[in-house]
Structure 1
Amino acid sequence: MEENNTNEPYTEQHYLHVAHEGDSRSFDLTESIFSKTNTPSFTIFAAPAESKYISIANENQVEEQSNYGHVFLGITGFNPVIGEYESVTIGFSAGESMATSEDNISFNDHLRYPEASSITVIGNGPNFDENISSLFENYNKIKNKTVSNESYNLLFNNCVDFVDDFLEKSNIKNVKISGTPSSITKRLKNIVKSYQTPIIIDLNGDGVKTLPYSFNISFEFNGEKQITGWVEKMMGF
């Protein structure tokens, strides 16, 4: 990944993207709202090269500069594994050594990268609820080591690819993470602009009911068929 060679001073930016059914809007914020709201959400963090990095080892903290920057993900909502509402982060890096994948996953990057910019996505409706559930499902698989860590590779398997793959596996549509941490930081506000949840109409008055991803229903998104959640037969879009 490229280093940040510009002479412009970096100032962290924070945004809120509200994805209501059939509509979406973005807002500028003065600070990140990750973990500061009880609303289910997911947050994409991006710290450019040369931003502050805090090395945490044996309870000692050393402030440094990040050589390449970092991109990581935050999730807020009800975690069914622990049965509690929580805010968590997950990221991917080389760890202490490129020779092993044992410590490639980190769960405290919001503490390690205090100058990271962020965009938090909140929404409502069954589709958004399914997204949050899927994010926690994949988070728990990695946290509880029911899936093995992949090897870190600066060129082909890095923090950016990890977040992009994580969102895709969680069925988050129309959010594509690519580039370097520095370039992603500059266009962070626009990364989720196409993310929306559909309007669902209750046709028979007994409440909105949906079918989970496990039903293997496919739908064409942007020319590509993907497995998705769906509505029951008495619902309408």
Structure 2
Amino acid sequence: MSSLIFSIKKLYTKNKMFGYFDIYSIFFIGIFLFHILMWEVMHRYAFVAVFALIPLSAYGIKDSMVIKKDKNILKYILITSSLLLICGIGNDIFKNLPIINKIPNREMTVVSQEFPEHDLVAMNIPAKKKIEEHIYIPYSFKRVNITYWAGGATLDSQPKLKMKLYSESGKSIDWRSNTYKAPGNYSIVIKNTSDENVEIAAGKSYKIDLLQESIVNHKNNYLNFDIVR
């Protein structure tokens, strides 16, 4: 909150030189507006803003003692903060309205690990072999949709590959059913049931970006999927 207050104050202050803290303020507010209000919300996005949060918070705490004296700035901050809060709460309420949740075939993504086509690489699965990726799903979900190849082709379109989903205890989970599954740690296993090698599209990224484990024994390669409810 102190970071948000200081960021808004810096942008409303007139007759000043444009400095480093103005860039920090624009960066922090941009991260907040884009990722929190207009895009998917994932835990890893918080780490991007840490570098700006630390100095902004320090100056925000310092200015909080003085800001009460400037009624105009206080008014702008209260109005802006209230609007952001109303937008965030309103967006969450709208998504959970009973009438919205009853819309037929409506799906909501709870975890998305989809890569643009230029980040996809061809990953070879030898005959009768399998690949495995451990994932953490923070919310209850219904299905796991795996993209087999670029262009959005799903795993169902490749009969030589069979997928299984396992809970942390090793129990096999029916990943196709529309019943809710509990949040937690899961393993996605894809096996090549044929007698020839089969390629599957994998995303190229880094653990520090996704905060997920890569495919076992395939560093920086990740399955291309989205998990819906």
Q: TM-score, normalised by structure 2?
A: 0.21
Give the number of the structure whose residues are more often helix, by fraction.
2
Larger Rg: 2
